[in-house]
Structure 1
Amino acid sequence: MAADDLAFASLLSRPRIRDHSGCGDILCNAYQTDETIYTTKHVEDGCECNFVGVSTSILIDALSKDKVPKIVITEYLELKVVSGHDYPYIAVSHVWADGLGNPFTNALPMCQLRRLRYFANKLYLMLNPASTPTGSPVGLWMDTLCIPVNANAKAYRKKAIQLLGKTFNEANAVLILDRELEVVESATSSFLELGLHILCSGWIKRLWTLQEASLASEAHGASKIYLQMRDEAFLYQKYDRDRRAAWRIDDQTTEIQAEERGLLNDYGVMLELGAQVPSIHAMRDMREGWSPFRVIYNALEHRSTSKAEDIPVCVAFLMGKNVSTILSATGMEQRMAEFYMVMREVPHGVIWCERPQKLSIKPFRWAPLSITACPQSAFMGQEAGICDSAGLHVRYRGFIFHESYEWNEGGTFPRAFNIISAETGEVLGQLSRPRQRAPWEIPLQQNLAVIMRQDAHPGILPTAAFVVVEATAGEDHEALTTEYVCRLVGYMYFQSFNQVQADGTSFRGHVTAADQMWCIT
């Protein structure tokens, strides 16, 4: 957000704000939950009404037929499951930390069911004024009630997750429940104020709500996301031009200037909302020169989840990929490995990210464990490597150290040295490590090579990656070259000969073609 928006946001009244003392500069941890000690909340403290649940077998019956199970809450707070394709329903997106989840059974307190029924019926009647209250009650989809949590129904839990696209696309509307937003009066608030409340809400900081909102915003070519405010459900992407002009700053500010200032502020908030909740179209149909990872980065940068292994599932799903192999993988590393293979085209920039934690499993030791741990510039380039079960395949110019060197065991490269062509004796340039950065102690060893970037951005990402060549793959007949299979061992920065002095320590080696193939494992 812009500085003036942040200043205004700091003045918002937020009576239900959580404790953010444990949050960082990027990620909010105030909404993290621990399923082992999770407590489903009643509407009012002290309420002890009974829980009402849904039979797991009925959910399984619907999911086994690729149908979305919808819940009808009767006047007597009984739950009925309907799975008809044409039955109208409202999908609910909520923040688990607010207490509307239940990791142990598909059930909620009666007081919460009464509240959900009221919200869903009110929204449906607002969207369909011709409907009568005496007609069939509108259905409701909510993960707490509709995704099986029974330990014996794991396969159908995966099925429900795979059907999320269908679930949110077919819903008549999506209703967002966030306890901070439910105390805001939408009718008396400016669009700027409402937008800032949304941007500061817990709902927009969570991972799964990104998926739910993006899927919903793309349905039928129109947005249908409503946020439950104190007075009504508010269509969050709507810019209401009937609202009063922005307040005047002083007596010298004309009405036109105030309106112009208000429009600019509103436009900025709309852009920020669009970045936080990108459409499916924006994520899947990239403009030329853009990588899907760039949009993913923007959407994930400030979001968190209580289960890190959910991240690759959610992102791959949004990209329209088959998530079955990711869901079947165990643990964060295995799931991220499957994610990179499912994405297949991975920006070259990820291999130049020196600081993020990498996967420890071969052939994915080049891969960042977290996408947002990389600098955003890693996803700006147009080129992408191909990730498959062998590793990440890229094309770069390289330098292979002369095989005649007898390296000292335990020795490491100096902080700066020249590299010289063994064939021509030409000084190609200098490799160095900036003193202000954490140094990579690159060991002297056999079969060492350097991959060098041509689209260098000094100071942002390294420009030289040290690799140990472990094997060669089959020939690429089109490029008349072999592919080197290698692993990353460190990074430096490369400067060409016309930028450095030729004196100092030097090493000789062979220069590869500009499009040499490397398979990084």
Structure 2
Amino acid sequence: MEFHLLPVHRGDPPIQVPRTQYVCTGLYDGGPWLSYPARKGKAEKFKDGTFDLMDYSRSERINPTPIKEQESFFQTWLYFGIIAEFMGVNSEDSINDPTSAEVIRSIYSEILDPDGDQTYVKLDVACLEKLLVMGRIRLSSDPVVRRQHYEHVIRCLAYMHPIIISVPDEFDYSIKWSIAALGELFMVSVRAALQALHAPSDFARSWGNKFLNKDAKRSMMEHGWCRSDIARAEAKYQGIQSLYIARMLDKSLPPRNHSQCTNSACKSYQINMGHYVSEHQHLLCSCETLVVEEEALLPALLDGDHYPLLRFEGGVGDLTCEIVKSGTKPYIAISHVWADGLGNPFANSLYRCKLHHLQKLVDAINDKESTTSPGNGERSLVWLDTLCCPAQDGDGKQKSIEKIRLVYRQAKHVLVLDAGLMSYQSQSQDASEIIKRIFTSSWMRRLWTLQEGALATSLYFQFADQAVNFSAVTQLVWAASTSKSMSYRALQPDFVNETRCLQAFFNNPTPLSLADSLNLLDRALQFRSVSVASDEPLCIATLLSFDLHAVLQLRDQESRMEKVWELVIAKHGGIPSQIIFFEEQKLSRPGWRWAPKTLLNSQSGLHGPNTRITRWFDPHLAVPEHPHGLRVKYPGVQISLKPDYGDGKPRNPWIGAPRLPEDWVQYRSLDDGRWYRIIDQKFAALNNSWTTDEERREYHKQGLYPVHDVANTGRSVLVLNNIPGVREALFATTVSEVSEFIEAVPAAVTTKLNAMLSDLKEESYIYDVVEKIALSVRADEVTDQHLALCKKLNIDENTSLDVFKDLLANHEDFIASTASVKEKIKEELARAVGDDEKFRTLIDTYWGVSYREDFWVVVRNFFHHDYVGKRTGDEQAWYID
């Protein structure tokens, strides 16, 4: 990946550029790229022109390809083969064409880098440009032919993407990501080529998922990264180019202790207001504090739209401060991270050395932009929250918060002070490194700083050597990304998203729609934090230009957040219905339990933050009707226990048999006869996070059955997301008994959990057979004998688990009876496997050959899962709470 943009400041010693070993066993054959697997005898796993990831995964499960063989095959096909395809070398005739063979040999000659007894793949900018020149010579000048070629390359990349991102974890990291990086590079190049031809160019894929593996993360943390910053980078950046810069970026200055940090929070920047200590500019300094009395601030704060500004005079020893009412005089507003020591929650005071240094930084900006009269003797006015906002609660403090919007909006410049940025020289850095440092700085992790940066009409970031104008550096990045630099083009999507989060709230040329404003808000707030939870609604109200006074009248976080959602609905006539499918914590007051409690750190859920962002674009707006909840229209499924079996036996006739740990619940549809599976999204997210079987066992020891608990209420419904291809639902209970749903009449429900719904399709046949076996054994005398023994022992389905454990450990007749049931089930199952080839094949395909031996427990637990589902209308009305 040597063609990637590389930071200058990579630590001491510098982080090494990863190298990719060459593992191919031969050259690419020069034939058409899509049919290469067929030519190599792999047509059953890679169909020419189509690729089904599920089919491929099942095929690999039954007949796995050795990892080394996969690495060699994929490097030949997906790396060298795609380069040849991009250059227009491959064709049906090329296999035996000496000219094409010579070009392919040239590709290998340019890329392979022998080093001792190892050979590496090295594709740097110069090599890439040489290959592209060779490709341009071969490509027709006819725009129609060129367009067809680029559209064909897009088809190849669309085929390639799911293959390379789904390789197993054992697959060599550098080989995988050299292929994925090449795919990303060609994607942005082809899109640019199609745009130049005025052809549609909306093809996009995210190539960077899981780019930061354990080794990469360990290296980043060794070079000063907080694990929460790494998690943020993974969530925010979709492109390998963006993630690669982050991967190689040293952030060890200033030294910070991140040992107690988590994936969701940086503890080193969490402020304990009760123990906050202001800092000197230098450790050995012993200067005194400069104090601003609240009485001096109030005249400006209580006068219309005015607010106090600061004029400093003198040096550290004799520094004085004059309060100036805002008006016509220009000033620079300071935006800073309080954890860096420039705050004070107890009083409007700071050490004089800090303020003197601050004034020097402000003066440097004025001197830099004033070419005609640098250093004209008049110091710039300053606004700094620590001195200009009363520290104690009261009218003055409330007024200052209400005027924050005016302060930062009317400032000539806003200067950002962040210790991490101020530790590195800017002039030695490329624009890509500067912008990445800004976007991954601690300043980007705090909530109050978001509105301060968003409101600014001119924004500066202070580095060790100078303040960098944000607009100027973004223009440099944009110019490079729109030029011929493919690496900068690959950076562009993530760069645009981050830049919009700072500039689009107030500096957008056109008003934002509801979807755009909420989408922007969500992106901007992710992974930011605030020391006082009730401040979040204030910042949101500012960013959305709402009446801040109305929110300030409420004191607690939930009431303020409720008011924010109220204001959104009042302004836009509703809120996107998809909000009900958020996985994050909701408000607690009845009637508002559909509304997110916070938009800050996303909890660890099944879906990433980007899934949440897309929900804001739902065109269907919903409104709350209190006290019922949010009124929406979605399809639904009424879930109920299967009616009585008519044999007088308990629902679960094998009393004492332990239940399977709950991984899911299935039900048979009364509408189409197929089986469906309900999975708790929280469990699915946990399952994805587990790395050992021990973690799974420890979880299941808790004996949790959340999906069963909802299904067994007799009032359970699935409210289905109606987006095509989306399988999620809310599993809820109706507030009152409902025998039949009527589309136009809203059914009031209380959400219990977020679920995933899977149509089992072929797998339905497994449960058809399981049902037959379960019913057969249920009717067998071995079950009657077992129930007779249970009656004699005076035990039933409601007997405590401890009693059953004691019986299974000490009662010979009970042990023998349960063993007889087990053997009967296994006997029936063995017969079905032996007689029914379809059943046997499906078990091996979906459950795995090794699972067949223990499959009898699925039959044994069948009656714990025996639910039926009936669809409601496609536009069933609901009150969601």
> Which residue pairs with 1:359 in the alignment?
587
Secondary structure of 2:545's aligned partner: coil
What TM-score comes out, normalization by structure 1 length? 0.79
Q: Distance in 1 between matches of 2:293 and 2:409?
A: 25
Q: Distance in 2 between matches of 1:121 and 1:188?
A: 23
Change (3 A) 1:485 1:282: farther
CA drift of 1:87 comes to 1.6
> Which residue pairs with 1:203 in the alignment?
443
> Which residue pairs with 1:489 in the alignment?
752
> Which residue pairs with 2:545 in the alignment?
320
Change (3 A) 1:471 1:445: closer
CA drift of 1:277 comes to 2.8
Q: Distance in 2 between matches of 1:175 and 1:79?
A: 19
Secondary structure of 2:521's aligned partner: helix
Change (3 A) 1:508 1:318: closer
Q: Distance in 2 between matches of 1:510 and 1:308?
A: 41
Q: Distance in 1 between matches of 2:735 and 2:290?
A: 61
Query: Is contact 2:348–2:386 with CA below 8 Å preserved after alignment?
Result: yes
Percent sequence identity is 24
What TM-score comes out, normalization by structure 2 length? 0.49
The structure that is helix-richer by fraction is 2
CA drift of 1:388 comes to 6.6
Query: Is contact 1:471–1:485 with CA below 8 Å preserved after alignment?
Result: no
CA drift of 1:396 comes to 1.8
Equivalent residue in structure 2 for 1:300, among 525, 531, 538: 525
* Structure 2 residue identity aligned to 1:467: T
Q: Distance in 1 between matches of 2:531 and 2:263?
A: 18
CA drift of 1:20 comes to 2.4
Q: Distance in 2 between matches of 1:448 and 1:5?
A: 45
Q: Distance in 2 between matches of 1:364 and 1:397?
A: 22
Q: Distance in 1 between matches of 2:546 and 2:476?
A: 41
Q: CA RMSD in A?
A: 3.9
Equivalent residue in structure 2 for 1:126, among 352, 358, 368: 368
Change (3 A) 1:389 1:240: closer
Secondary structure of 2:263's aligned partner: coil
Equivalent residue in structure 2 for 1:417, among 651, 660, 667: 667
Change (3 A) 1:456 1:331: farther
Query: Is contact 1:195–1:273 with CA below 8 Å preserved after alignment?
Result: no
Matches within 5 A, 1:94-493: 94-130=336-372, 133=375, 136-151=378-393, 153=394, 155-216=395-456, 219=457, 224-239=458-473, 260=485, 263-264=488-489, 267=492, 270-271=495-496, 273-274=498-499, 277-281=502-506, 290-344=515-569, 345-354=574-583, 356-371=584-599, 372-373=602-603, 375=608, 376-381=610-615, 382=618, 383-387=620-624, 390=627, 391-399=629-637, 415-420=665-670, 426-427=671-672, 431-434=676-679, 437=684, 439-440=706-707, 441-442=709-710, 444-445=712-713, 448-458=716-726, 462-470=728-736, 481-493=744-756
Equivalent residue in structure 1 for 2:290, among 35, 48, 52: 52
* Structure 1 residue identity aligned to 2:352: M
Structure 1: runs of 5+ lacking an equivalent: 247-257, 421-425, 473-478
Secondary structure of 1:335's aligned partner: helix
Change (3 A) 1:405 1:131: farther
Query: Is contact 1:182–1:229 with CA below 8 Å preserved after alignment?
Result: yes
Secondary structure of 1:482's aligned partner: coil
Query: Is contact 2:534–2:560 with CA below 8 Å preserved after alignment?
Result: yes
> Which residue pairs with 2:276 in the alignment?
38
Q: Distance in 2 between matches of 1:471 and 1:82?
A: 67
Query: Is contact 1:340–1:387 with CA below 8 Å preserved after alignment?
Result: no
Q: Distance in 1 between matches of 2:565 and 2:323?
A: 37
**Structure with larger RCO (C-alpha < 8 A, sep 6+):** 1
* Structure 2 residue identity aligned to 1:208: W
Cα deviation, 1:199-222, whole Å, max 9, x if unaligned, reads 332112211111111111xx3xxx
CA drift of 1:466 comes to 1.9
CA drift of 1:314 comes to 1.2
* Structure 2 residue identity aligned to 1:358: K
Change (3 A) 1:242 1:343: closer
Change (3 A) 1:291 1:445: farther
Q: Distance in 2 between matches of 1:368 and 1:429?
A: 35
Which is higher, the Rg of structure 1 or of structure 2?
Answer: 2
The structure that is strand-richer by fraction is 1
> Which residue pairs with 1:68 in the alignment?
307
Q: Aligned residues, how many?
A: 483
CA drift of 1:278 comes to 4.5
Cα deviation, 1:17-62, whole Å, max 9, x if unaligned, reads 4222333335433311111000000101132211112221232222
> Which residue pairs with 1:511 in the alignment?
872
Query: Is contact 2:288–2:351 with CA below 8 Å preserved after alignment?
Result: yes
Q: Distance in 2 between matches of 1:8 and 1:377?
A: 24
Q: Distance in 2 between matches of 1:35 and 1:300?
A: 22
CA drift of 1:468 comes to 1.9
